[in-house]
Amino acid sequence: MQIRRARRGDAREIESLYRALVPGDDNIHVDARRIEALESDPTNVVLVAQTEEGVCGTAFLTICLDAMYGFNPYGVVENIVIDGSMQGKGIGRALIAAVEAEARAAQCTKLMLLSAVQRTDAHRFFARLGFDGERKRGFVKYLNSTPVLRLPA
Whichever domain contains 107, its CATH number is: 3.40.630.30
Q: For residue 13, is it within any domain?
A: yes
- Give the per-residue pLDDT at 152: 77
Give the chain's residues under pLDDT 50: none
Q: What is the CA radius of gyration of the chain?
A: 16
* Other beta carbons less than 10 A from residue 6's beta carbon: 24
Number of domain units in the chain: 1
Please indicate, yes or no, if residue 133 is contained in any of the structural domains. no
What are the tens digits of pLDDT across the range 68-112? 999 999 999 999 999 999 999 999 999 999 999 999 999 999 999
To the question of pTM greater than 0.85 for the whole model, the response is yes
> Which pairs with CB-CB distance under 8 Å and at least 24 residues apart come from 136-143?
138/112, 138/114, 140/114
Report pLDDT for 143.
84
C-alpha separations of 11 from 41, 117, 122 in Å: 16, 27, 24
Q: pLDDT at position 146, please? A: 67
Residue 75 lies in a domain: yes
Residue 149 lies in a domain: no
Residue span of the structural domain in which 45 resides: 2-128
Note whether residue 142 is domain-resident. no
Opening angle at CA 45, ends 121 and 83, nearest 5: 35
- Is 32 within a domain? yes
